[in-house]
Structure 1
Amino acid sequence: MKSFGLFVGLLLAVGIRAAPSKDCEHNVKEAVTPPRGWSKVKPAPADHLIELRIGLPQPKFAELEQHLYEISDPFHERYGAHLSKEEVEDLIAPHEESVSAVDEWLADYGFASHELSRSPAGDWVKVRVPVSLAEDMLKTEYHVWQHEETGDAIVRTTTYSLPVHLHGHIDVVQPTTTFARLRGMKATYHYADEQDFIVDIAQPTIPIPSALNGQVNASCNASITPTCLRELYNIGNYTPQAADVNKIAATGYLDQYANFEDFHDFFAKYVPEATNATFDVIYINNGTNNQSLAAAGVEANLDTQYAFGLSYPTPATFYTTGGSPPFIPDDTTPDNTNEPYADWLAYILSDPSPPQTISTSYGDNEQTVPYSYATRVCKELAQLSARGVSLIFSSGDSGVGDGDSDPATQQCFTNNGLNETKFIPAFPASCPYVTTVGATWYIPEVTYYISGGGFSNYFARPWYQELAVPHYIKNLNTTYEGLYNASGRAYPDVAAQGQFFWIFDGGDNSQIGGTSAAAPTVGGIVSLLNDARLANGLPALGFLNPLIYAVGAILPDAFNDIVGGSNPGCGTEGFTAEVGWDPVTGFGTPNFGKLLDIALGNLGGLLEF
């Protein structure tokens, strides 16, 4: 026995393993039913390159979440004490055993530890492999899948396996089973119909008690500009004072380019005091920002012109992330670069000083993102929030539906193989660590029927919603029982105007709308609040939701409550907008003057309760 033990020791000393991981028993790690609308086209080319992202467990994430909630709770003594990049990374770092186990598995396939790409915390490992090797590693088969409506094509599998001993050391491997298209949720913008409304030019102003000086120019009823938003949301002539430290950003994907000529034309006409304004561009994953007017992106132009127009002269950044089109089915050796959102997250988490406010108008149906991957992405967002970043997302333009047909006739089905009829929540809008924005229109404001809203099927209701959401559900009674998850994270949190926005796009001055207009509007307003706090020696607001729900319960006049109307879909009228919070417009639209008092005046009396 002694000599056998010595022999085994010698084998190990020279790096020989009797049973490499690739020869061990494999069990299925994840399997999904392909989402509706996707068809299998053909086997993926063997030499097609995939960048596998391997997510290792984050054993202390619950501790990070506790920190996040404490520093975001206006009633907590730690309010505003945001974590540093290093503190966050320490809290999400994997156990060394997990790192070693994954490294050994990859070494069996010829990848030395120093050749691997790792996230700063080590919780993600990336390795670039051809399909043939990925299929061997994951004991699966990749195919080209095509979306029937859009023609988008991706290389995916519906199931993959890992060695049994690795199941506890790997949370997720992608791209494998995620069919999300990171779209604007049926394009989170809608062109205005000029016949929707006729302005009564005989009435020069509209009385709005919460607005600046109690009134709004009547033209704003069907013609939104930065001036209208400043009047309507009581911003007035507030001018940023902390441009040396405060920053704002908007994200761009899917070949959406922010055009500088359009930007300058917009400012010359609608923000003339800022004619020379500009913004920085950061290029991620071979992202580009084509400046041909013909290539101008309406989404990118809308986001930058309004988020940066409202917050000028706050330094602004546009992130352009490559990764579109996803794949050309006839190509034999393209790169599979259709997960740009993961690339943006990897970049922004590595930034030691990210912008304090970031607006994003992209997402997809929650059910197209596997639960394992959605939870990991949501945890990435929690990391940013814990570092003091206010993350703003649009809620989608499909009401309670999936956006694939007319709201009145949609048939909404689950992707779990049971074809159950359910409302379809959106992601990342449903993540509990971000602030999600619905839409209103007209003045006085009313519910914009496209406003995405509902309840997550993946994420439980967070503590900050424990007062507002159960109250709404109680009043809802049995209406739509079984069509939504009453215990899920509810959204949106707030709302803003979402139609008739004047922009410059491709050299043309035109109108546009959707929750893609509402999100950058709220982003610009949040940036102004952050500016005020920073200028007064206070930390940025960071994760907003605990504050929003406290304000909504105690000082509701800080939001303009929207009552009446609904967000139809799935063959129903959808949820209705009620007094207080509702899953159509959240707590309503912002009153900047009131929120500014709250942000600066010891939280406006909140601590007295």
Structure 2
Amino acid sequence: MRSFALVLVAVAATAAAGPSAATQEEAFVVKETVQPPSAWVKHSTPSPDHIIKLRIALPQPNFDILERLLYDVSDPYHENYGLHLSKEEVEMLVAPEEESAKAVAEWLETHGFMEEDLELSPAGDWVTIRVPVQLAEEMLNTKYHVYKHAAADEYIVRTTSYSLPAFLHSHVELVQPTTVFGSLKAFRSTIVLPDEVMKAATDASGKMLLSDAATNCTGTITVDCIKLLYNATDYSPDPTLNNSIGITGYLEEYANYDDLQLFYADQLPEALNSSFDYISVNGGQNNQSADAAGGEADLDVQFAFGLSYPIKNATFWSTAGSPPFIPDLGTPTNTNEPYTEWLDFVLGQDNVPWVISTSYGDDEQTVPEAFARRVCAGFAQLGARGVSLLFSSGDAGVGDGESDPADTSCISNDGKNATKFLAGFPASCPYVTAVGGTTLNADAEEVAVTRFFSGAGFSDYFERPPYQNDTVEAYLATLPNGTYDGLYNRTGRAFPDVAAFGDRYRVFWGGEPVLIGGTSASSPAFAGIVALLNDARLGAGLPPLGFLNPFFYSKGAAGFNDITVGNSTGCGTSGFNASVGWDPVTGLGSPNFGLLKELALAKNEDC
């Protein structure tokens, strides 16, 4: 592949006399137009000097080959199962055509951008520039405004439509930030300070009575509870293996080292004095003051790393990007969705943890489809390299998590203002594993959560992937004719894929024990179980599991505890129901580590 830098040099040599005829004469053509979500209200006009970090996506003409290879290396019945691609092989498959690189370089040159002004992704498929609003408006023939979120003190600089010269349309897939109105949030539904339930499970000093973990699990979830109820009590990972696990952190959520030690002293004394590696992304901080500790970050690292201990390669990424804009300050530090900053960073690393959990997301419809597809394609690149990506499915059921028919939050964002179920993103991406939430009822039966509602449904952007066709069709066949017709896309990618406990996790936050619930808890807990499965495979001389769904929906399906009680309430309805087999509330169910380990190690003829 000819480098983008060399293309720029060639273009610069021919552009010295001025813009090309094509750039001068071709009219602008609209590239994308969106309706701003109802929650975002036009607030003001940004300063013309306000700096935007503009990202230009060049087409990936060979992505279909990458996708096929991703499925091949992730299918336990394919001869290439586990033969994951290298970073360099993935980059070759997503590299743009030289013609596209040349066209974009020429366009940027006419607007005064030199080679040193550009940030290029390793594959050359993304070009990033820092540009004042006034110039961005000229380049994109648009007008930016400051929008304020009606329910939060949050501001962004966006436009609802942008254009490009006609000759560029085949060479540019999208430009952002322009039309993305997402509001990244943690899927954490509750934080409960020490209460009577916790006191019943602790001694006078506040220490958890670990010997009673089995009987206390209906009120408080500990590491011992997860291992006991998911059949992982007798497994000890090998710390000498090249195993690894990672947690993403956003929105100024900092994982506190002291809180982790308190957690270990409380629940896992053998892990005392072990920790994790902090990595800054895009200027992300590592504030270790007690009042800066993040409940979400503490929850994620304590249970993901506690369940996977003594696996030593544990990483927490702190990614900056909250809030994206404060009008009174004029110039923000970042105007992109933070998880794309993280994705760019990780794709450029030679070594990436084998399993990564993210407890954040947006409503799918607030993320323009072209942008969602491009981000999803980035997740596919990691999957092809052997990385398991887990995302919380959300805490709002099929949309708003409420059953009040008067609620207006389940409204389409297409200008029709129609009532509809709302999918979540990135959980709706077919190349990730979406994790729903469960809890234990008074009879110690695992059911779908009732204190919040596990994010569930069907994507409006992504078609149903082949690996889940049979299971989803089987579920849809059980629904009475006409059930929720028009409220969801029957042929869309269905989620969640799996589930795990998501209620009343005992976490140390700011030096104190608290209970935290939400699918924010489910995803890191499931990631801990996947790390144990990878440990078993690595110990047997096998590669890590990589992209999980093709295995889970086929050979691994027998390794789950089927959850048949509960609903994904929302949008004035009771939502979908949990049922025998896969369902859009708890997916395939919760993990039975012992069974999944046997299936992950078994030869196909033994299954």
Task: Tell me the alpha carbon deviations over residues 342-364 of structure 1, each in whole angstroms, 9 at most, x when there is no partner.
Answer: 11001100011100000000001
Stretches of structure 1 that go unaligned for 5 or more consecutive residues are 1-10, 202-214
Secondary structure of 1:162 counterpart: strand
* 1:242 and 1:534 in contact (8 A); partners too: no
Secondary structure of 2:535 counterpart: helix
| Alignment match of 2:329 (pick from 328, 331, 338) | 331
- Offset of 1:410 from its aligned partner? 3.4
Bigger mean CA deviation after superposition, 17-26 or 136-145:
17-26
| Alignment match of 1:256 (pick from 253, 256, 262) | 253
| Alignment match of 2:57 (pick from 55, 58, 65) | 55
* 1:401 and 1:407 in contact (8 A); partners too: no
* 1:260 and 1:278 in contact (8 A); partners too: yes
Query: Distance in 2 between the 1:485 and 1:36 partners?
Result: 22
Residue 398 of structure 2: aligned partner: 400
Let me know the Cα RMSD of the aligned residues: 2.0
- Note the 1:294-309 alignment, pairs <5 A: 294-309=291-306
Residue 75 of structure 1: aligned partner: 77
- Does 2:510 match 1:492? no
Query: Distance in 2 between the 1:488 and 1:14 partners?
Result: 50
Residue 207 of structure 2: aligned partner: none
Task: Write the letter of the residue equivalent to 2:465.
Answer: P
After TM superposition, the score normalised by the length of structure 1 is: 0.91
* 2:193 and 2:514 in contact (8 A); partners too: no
Secondary structure of 1:221 counterpart: coil
- Does 2:277 match 1:273? no
Residue 544 of structure 2: aligned partner: 540
After TM superposition, the score normalised by the length of structure 2 is: 0.92
**Residues 267 and 406 (structure 1), Cα distance of their counterparts in 2 relative to 1, 3 Å cut:** farther
Secondary structure of 1:413 counterpart: coil
Query: Distance in 2 between the 1:45 and 1:16 partners?
Result: 29
- Does 2:189 match 1:189? yes
* 1:189 and 1:299 in contact (8 A); partners too: no
Query: Distance in 1 between the 2:16 and 2:250 partners?
Result: 48
**Residues 196 and 541 (structure 1), Cα distance of their counterparts in 2 relative to 1, 3 Å cut:** farther
- Offset of 1:159 from its aligned partner? 0.3
- Note the 1:161-172 alignment, pairs <5 A: 161-172=163-174
**Residues 329 and 407 (structure 1), Cα distance of their counterparts in 2 relative to 1, 3 Å cut:** farther
* 2:188 and 2:516 in contact (8 A); partners too: no
Residue 449 of structure 2: aligned partner: 448
* 1:395 and 1:452 in contact (8 A); partners too: yes
Residue 362 of structure 2: aligned partner: 364
Residue 439 of structure 1: aligned partner: 437
**Residues 552 and 77 (structure 1), Cα distance of their counterparts in 2 relative to 1, 3 Å cut:** closer
Task: Tell me the alpha carbon deviations over residues 478-516 of structure 1, each in whole angstroms, 9 at most, x when there is no partner.
Answer: 211111000000000110001110000001111111100
Bigger mean CA deviation after superposition, 336-345 or 364-373:
336-345
Secondary structure of 2:576 counterpart: coil
Residue 480 of structure 1: aligned partner: 484
Question: Percentage identity across aligned positions?
Answer: 54
Secondary structure of 2:477 counterpart: helix
**Residues 243 and 32 (structure 1), Cα distance of their counterparts in 2 relative to 1, 3 Å cut:** farther
Query: Distance in 2 between the 1:486 and 1:373 partners?
Result: 22
Query: Distance in 2 between the 1:590 and 1:357 partners?
Result: 16
Residue 523 of structure 1: aligned partner: 527
Query: Distance in 2 between the 1:427 and 1:114 partners?
Result: 34
Task: Tell me the alpha carbon deviations over residues 372-392 of structure 1, each in whole angstroms, 9 at most, x when there is no partner.
Answer: 100000000000000000001
- Note the 1:283-432 alignment, pairs <5 A: 283-314=280-311, 315-402=313-400, 410-411=407-408, 412-432=410-430
Secondary structure of 2:90 counterpart: helix
Stretches of structure 2 that go unaligned for 5 or more consecutive residues are 1-12, 202-211
- Offset of 1:237 from its aligned partner? 3.2
| Alignment match of 2:234 (pick from 231, 237, 242) | 237
* 1:598 and 1:604 in contact (8 A); partners too: no
Query: Distance in 1 between the 2:199 and 2:462 partners?
Result: 43
- Does 2:562 match 1:561? yes
Query: Distance in 2 between the 1:559 and 1:194 partners?
Result: 32
Task: Tell me the alpha carbon deviations over residues 136-164 of structure 1, each in whole angstroms, 9 at most, x when there is no partner.
Answer: 00000000000010121000000000000
* 1:22 and 1:105 in contact (8 A); partners too: no
**Residues 200 and 259 (structure 1), Cα distance of their counterparts in 2 relative to 1, 3 Å cut:** closer
**Residues 237 and 575 (structure 1), Cα distance of their counterparts in 2 relative to 1, 3 Å cut:** same
* 1:391 and 1:435 in contact (8 A); partners too: yes
Query: Distance in 2 between the 1:506 and 1:23 partners?
Result: 61
Query: Distance in 2 between the 1:520 and 1:287 partners?
Result: 20
Residue 458 of structure 1: aligned partner: 461
**Residues 578 and 192 (structure 1), Cα distance of their counterparts in 2 relative to 1, 3 Å cut:** farther
- Note the 1:67-106 alignment, pairs <5 A: 67-106=69-108
- Offset of 1:193 from its aligned partner? 9.1
**Residues 297 and 200 (structure 1), Cα distance of their counterparts in 2 relative to 1, 3 Å cut:** closer
* 1:266 and 1:503 in contact (8 A); partners too: yes
* 1:401 and 1:410 in contact (8 A); partners too: no
Query: Distance in 2 between the 1:57 and 1:18 partners?
Result: 22
**Residues 562 and 198 (structure 1), Cα distance of their counterparts in 2 relative to 1, 3 Å cut:** farther
Task: Tell me the alpha carbon deviations over residues 507-554 of structure 1, each in whole angstroms, 9 at most, x when there is no partner.
Answer: 11111111001000000000010111111110000000011000365x
Residue 509 of structure 2: aligned partner: 505
Task: Write the letter of the residue equivalent to 2:593.
Answer: F
Q: How many residues align?
A: 577
